[in-house]
Amino acid sequence: MISHVPKQLCCGCHACYSACPEKCISMQTDGEGFWYPVVDGQRCIECGLCQRVCPIVLAHSVERQPEAYACRHKEDNVRMQSSSGGVFSPLAEKVLYNGGAIFGAVFNKSFCVVHDWTDNPEQLYRFRGSKYVQSRIGDTYIQAKHFLLQKREVLFSGTPCQIAGLKAYLGQEYENLICLDLICHGVPSPLVWELYRKSVIGANALQAVNFRDKTVGWKRYSVGFELANGNKIIRVI
């Protein structure tokens, strides 16, 4: 079972959780706040499927000659809402225009970072901008496969580990799947993010967060907290 995989190698991608036929794997946070699989040994049937979809166990190598392009969105307001050049937005818009669905990291109502999906262009703004926290994949791999089998286009964005988990879970290539991963230096703990967020806003109600707020400029890294009372707090890192 997946619990045999050393914890220090696990990236919390949720592939094993998504693939388990008995639903005996739950994703739980440890003392540091990171997501890890926990197996209910009494319900486990030792089918081994969880290990067969683990990207760490599979460790596929990819040999290709990559091409590099520099891009930026033409509209200033889209770039202001984005972390860098806003390239995600036109890719997502194309998929949505074709009747597809997009998946990516968003803030939930508690401002925890989770993966979600939409096929509504009016919800695209929720997916813009980097969220520098380990996101909870939840059931999005399962939902993405459902759309793929319906022959709908799917754009799935996430860290390289999350994309590897998705592909391992799917077990085959899909022509209607577009994977968009990012250069990742590691994911901070959701618990650290929660403690930091509360230390900044105190008892105030939070309206929005921008991890790459551009109020003080494009080159200075700052986090913007928009409060429900209309005030804004900027923390320059």
> What's the CATH number where 33 sits?
3.30.70.3270
What CA–CA distances, in Å, run from 99 to 104, 109, 118, 127, 155? Answer: 17, 27, 11, 17, 11
CB atoms inside a 10 Å sphere around CB 2: 25
Q: Does residue 217 surpass a pLDDT of 90? A: no
Q: Does residue 219 surpass a pLDDT of 70? A: no
The answer to whether residue 196 is domain-embedded is: no
Task: Say yes or no: 135 and 218 in one domain.
Answer: no
The answer to whether residue 23 is domain-embedded is: yes
3-state secondary structure of 136: strand
Task: Say yes or no: 104 and 165 in one domain.
Answer: yes
125: DSSP letter: G
Task: Say yes or no: 124 and 91 in one domain.
Answer: yes
Task: List the one residue out of 175, 226, 225 whose CA is nearest residue 236.
Answer: 225
Owning domain of residue 141: 76-181
The answer to whether residue 128 is domain-embedded is: yes
Under the banding of pLDDT at 50, 70 and 90, the label for residue 6 is confident
Mean pLDDT, the chain, integer: 92
Q: Does residue 78 surpass a pLDDT of 90? A: no
Sign of CA dihedral 122, 120, 18, 4: negative
Total domains in the chain come to 3
The answer to whether residue 40 is domain-embedded is: yes
Task: Say yes or no: 83 and 175 in one domain.
Answer: yes
In the chain the beta strands, taken as DSSP E runs, fall at 25-29, 35-39, 101-107, 113-118, 154-158, 177-181, 206-210, 222-227, 232-236
The answer to whether residue 187 is domain-embedded is: no
Task: Say yes or no: 174 and 92 in one domain.
Answer: yes
pLDDT for residue 224: 93
CA dihedral 149, 154, 160, 163 (to 10 degrees): -10
Under the banding of pLDDT at 50, 70 and 90, the label for residue 3 is confident
- pTM for the predicted model, two decimal places: 0.92
> pLDDT by residue (tens digit) across 36-72?
999 999 999 999 999 999 998 887 777 778 888 888 8
Q: Does residue 178 surpass a pLDDT of 80? A: yes
Task: Say yes or no: 16 and 109 in one domain.
Answer: no
Task: Say yes or no: 123 and 156 in one domain.
Answer: yes
The answer to whether residue 70 is domain-embedded is: no
Task: Say yes or no: 176 and 84 in one domain.
Answer: yes
Q: Does residue 9 surpass a pLDDT of 70? A: yes
3-state secondary structure of 81: helix
CB distance 220 to 211 below 8 Å = no
Task: Say yes or no: 210 and 171 in one domain.
Answer: no
Tell me what the mean pLDDT of segment 115-143 comes to.
95
- Determine the Cα–Cα distance for residues 233 and 204; give it in Å rounded to an integer: 11
CB distance 180 to 157 below 8 Å = yes
Among 181, 212, 227, residue at a domain's last position: 181
The answer to whether residue 37 is domain-embedded is: yes
